[in-house]
Amino acid sequence: MIENYKEAFEKSRLAGAIAAGALDEVAKIIKHGIKTETIDRLCYEYINDHGAYSAPLFYRGFPKSCCTSANHVVCHGIPSEKVLKDGDIINVDVTALKDGWHGDTSRTFEIGEVSVKAKKLVKTTYEAMMEAIQIIKEDICLGDIGATIQNYVETRGFSVVQDFCGHGVGRSFHETPNILHYGEKGSGEKIKAGMIFTIEPMINAGNYETKTLSDGWTAVTKDKSLSAQFEHTVGVTKDGYEIFTLPKKKI
């Protein structure tokens, strides 16, 4: 696969565009009064209508087509009758499986006017992901990615979740290597052209620690502080990278 990755990149581009397209649709309808299961329905239908399958659905028993993680929920929130309200922040995470390849992406949306702190958290999380993506090219180390995110986030007073990480992605939803969002510059495996993985930092306003609720999925901050996340699927090239999950319109 790594030897000749043209086909892998073409397939990832397609799956990534569908996943990003689903989030573009979510962006149009998400607002005060919407139920998270309405977002799930929209993602399910958009992905199906584009000849793809929602990879989260029944993945290890997950019951829905996307994850909806609001406020102090770090990740893997299950869509339900929960109604969004002004001031909430909510991450929507979708993964499209198209022609045997996965595209995995998430964005955190702001509902109405959110607090100054929530706004800063969401902005910092997005920027930390983009800062890390921008250093990607063959022969940098995985630790360079983690260190870039950790440094960006901690100098702004927030913390990096350690219990969840990015991952290789392609024919499987989750593959090696693990992409940690913290670490030491110059440490870890060197990345190679042709590798495809996600960068998906989860950033907390308070302490980095998480716990999982009794539904077996929903991860929350232990201290109930706000948490935000963004995710892109990225391919490594000799002298840079390609993002497969860019929105149609710049966010």
Which residues make up the interface to ligand MF3 (CB under 6 A)? 56, 59-60, 62, 67, 76, 93, 95, 104, 198, 200, 217, 231
Question: What six digits make up the tokens of 90?
Answer: 């909510």
Q: What is the DSSP secondary structure assignment for residue 61, as one 8-state letter?
A: G
Helices 142-154 and 116-134 pack at an angle, to 10 degrees, of 160
- How many residues sit in the footprint of Co ion (CB under 5 A)? 4
Among 198, 210, 227, 229, binds Co ion (CB under 5 A): 198
b/e burial code for range 17-41 (CB count within 10 A of at least 16 → b): bbbbbbbbbbeeebeeebebebbbe
Position 186, amino acid? G
Work out whether 104 is an interface residue with Co ion (CB under 5 A).
Answer: yes
Residue found under tokens 């440490």: 187
First to last CA, the chain: 32
Nearer to ligand MF3, 104 or 144 (CB): 104
Instruction: Give the shortest CB-3-to-ligand MF3 separation in angstroms.
Output: 26
* CB 245, CB 21: distance < 8 Å: no
Q: Name which of Co ion, ligand MF3, none residue 76 binds, using a CB cut-off of 5 to 8 Å depending on partner kind.
A: ligand MF3
Nearer to ligand MF3, 95 or 221 (CB): 95
Look at phi and psi of residue 21 and say left if phi exceeds 0, alpha if psi is from -120 to 50, else beta.
Answer: alpha
Q: Which stretch binds Co ion (CB under 5 A): 11-19, 98-106, 216-224, 239-247?
A: 98-106
Q: Which stretch binds Co ion (CB under 5 A): 10-18, 19-27, 119-127, 198-206?
A: 198-206
Among 40, 93, 110, 144, binds Co ion (CB under 5 A): 93
Residue nearest to ligand MF3 (CB): 56
Distance, CA of 80 to chain centre: 20
Instruction: Give the shortest CB-155-to-Co ion separation in angstroms.
Output: 25
Neighbours of 110 (CB within 10 A): 18
Nearer to ligand MF3, 77 or 183 (CB): 77
Instruction: Give the shortest CB-166-to-ligand MF3 separation in angstroms.
Output: 8
Could you tell me the sign of the dihedral formed by the alpha carbons of 18, 164, 243, 1, in that order? negative
Nearer to ligand MF3, 88 or 93 (CB): 93
Nearer to Co ion, 106 or 225 (CB): 106
State which of positions 216-235 bind Co ion (CB under 5 A).
231
Query: Which residues is 175 bridged to in the sheet?
Result: 168
Q: Give me the residues that bind Co ion (CB under 5 A), please.
A: 93, 104, 198, 231
